[in-house]
Amino acid sequence: MDPRKEKYEKLLIQLTDNFDWPSVYMFKFIVPADNEKIAQVEGLFDSSEATVSIRNSSKGNYVSITAKEMMLSPEKVIERYLKAENIKGLISL
């Protein structure tokens, strides 16, 4: 089985078991400290709906991005993670 598919199947089970939907979900990402990468991550979220906070690493090489947004279903959360995978250098936490 594709490890990526297996990862998201496990996440789907966790999200289904641990949240009542719709629910506010917190996404956490780490990206290189590059304005383009930061903008790409911010672009994943609806600016009028999501709360996005950004914190620089101690050496300034990376940026931690936390976003909270009302999500309608576990499937929508996974869709967002799949879109995020297209951003080079991004790590999902």
Q: What CATH number is attached to the domain comprising 21? A: 3.30.70.260
| pTM of the entire predicted model | 0.87
Residue 91: pLDDT above 60?
yes
Contact 66, 27 (CB under 8 A): yes
Q: Which domain holds residue 17?
A: 3-92
Give residues with Cβ within 8 angstroms of 9, minimum separation 6: none
**In the predicted structure, residue 1 carries a pLDDT above the cut 70:** no
At residue 21 the predicted structure's pLDDT band, cuts being 50, 70 and 90, is very high
Percent of the chain with pLDDT over 90: 76
Structure confidence at residue 13 (pLDDT): 92
Q: How far apart are CA 9 and CA 13, in angstroms?
A: 6
pLDDT: which is higher, 68 or 4: 68
User: How many structural domains are present in the chain?
Assistant: 1
CA–CA gap between residue 41 and residue 45 (Å, rounded): 8
Backbone angles phi, psi at 39, to 5 degrees: -65, -35
pLDDT in the model for residue 47: 76
